Amino acid sequence: SYVLTQPPSVSVAPGQTARITCGGNNIGSKSVHWYQQKPGQAPVLVVYDDSDRPSGIPERFSGSNSGNTATLTISRVEAGDEADYYCQVWDSSSDHPFGGGTKLTVL
Amino acid sequence: EVQLVESGGGLVQPGRSLRLSCTASGFTFGDYAMSWVRQAPGKGLEWVGFIRSKAYGGTTEYAASVKGRFTISRDDSKSIAYLQMNSLKTEDTAVYYCTRGGHGDRLDYWGQGTLVTVSS
């Protein structure tokens, strides 16, 4: 079974950079997608295929993936970025493609 | 504009059945795999299953937690995906989301979700 590990929480001050990690065995060889979920709302895709952004997603959102860790980076964090973030990887050995989620708190 | 609208949620007793629908618009429904993802109250996202497009056989795959109890189907003529849930358990209580995409894909559009509560 392929396990994705995210920190439960990350805190950052407005204007600073937030980095949310997603750990998995040799995750660098897989495509990673990231979703943002604000309270009471459906998830929204913010980064796909490691580092691509859907249309309408600000350039402040970026992604990287190497080795055993994928990272979602949010630059110049705003209060409106406060949300839960989930990484997702498809692997044939697992039917749990989502990480446990990380709550981003903007201080 | 791509839209996915779920319906059919509600309160159901353990052991009973419920069918959810996902009505799609704004894209050629038949060209895409469709997935269902659920989220128990206060918990994270859990993949339920998906159905491939007819071009890829229209076959389905399910998470172990629902395999044998849940069935996903599609009606491309109506642009609707279905989730038939049988033998429901209290642990199936969750918001159920319909999403565009399947195994190997990004899930690029999500519906607003429909709440299923399994309780006596």
pLDDT band of residue A92 (cuts 50, 70, 90) is: confident
Query: What is the Cα Rg of chain A in Å?
Result: 13
Q: Determine contact, residues B13/B89, Cβ cutoff 8 Å.
A: no
Closest residue in A to B39 (Cα–Cα): A42
Q: Which residues of A touch B (CB under 8 A)?
A: 31, 33, 35, 37, 41-45, 48-49, 54, 84, 86, 88, 90, 95-101
With 90 as the cut, is the pLDDT of residue A33 above it?
yes
Report the 10 Å Cβ neighbour count for A49: 12
Please answer yes or no on whether A88 and B112 come within 8 Å at the CB atom. Answer: no
pLDDT digits (tens, 9 = 90+) for B23-76: 999 999 999 999 999 999 999 999 999 999 999 999 999 999 999 999 999 999
With 90 as the cut, is the pLDDT of residue A93 above it?
no
Query: Coil, strand, or helix at residue B9?
Result: coil
CB proximity B115 to A under 8 Å: no
With 90 as the cut, is the pLDDT of residue B103 above it?
no
Q: Average per-residue pLDDT in chain A? A: 97
Residue with tokens 């060889």: A29
Please answer yes or no on whether A33 and B106 come within 8 Å at the CB atom. Answer: yes
Percentage of chain A beyond pLDDT 90 is: 93
Amino acid at site A3:
V
What distance in Å separates the CA atoms of residue B69 and residue A67, rounded to the nearest whole number?
A: 38
With 90 as the cut, is the pLDDT of residue A17 above it?
yes
Within 8 A of A44 by CB-CB distance, chain B residues are 110
Average pLDDT over residues A18-46: 97
Residues for chain A: how many in total?
107
What distance in Å separates the CA atoms of residue A74 and residue A70, rounded to the nearest whole number?
A: 13
A80 phi and psi angles, rounded to 5 deg: -70, -5
Q: What is the DSSP letter of A49?
A: T
Percentage of chain A beyond pLDDT 70 is: 100
Q: Average per-residue pLDDT in chain B? A: 97
Amino acid at site A75:
S
**What are the respective helix, strand and coil percentages of chain A, to the nearest 5?**
5, 45, 50
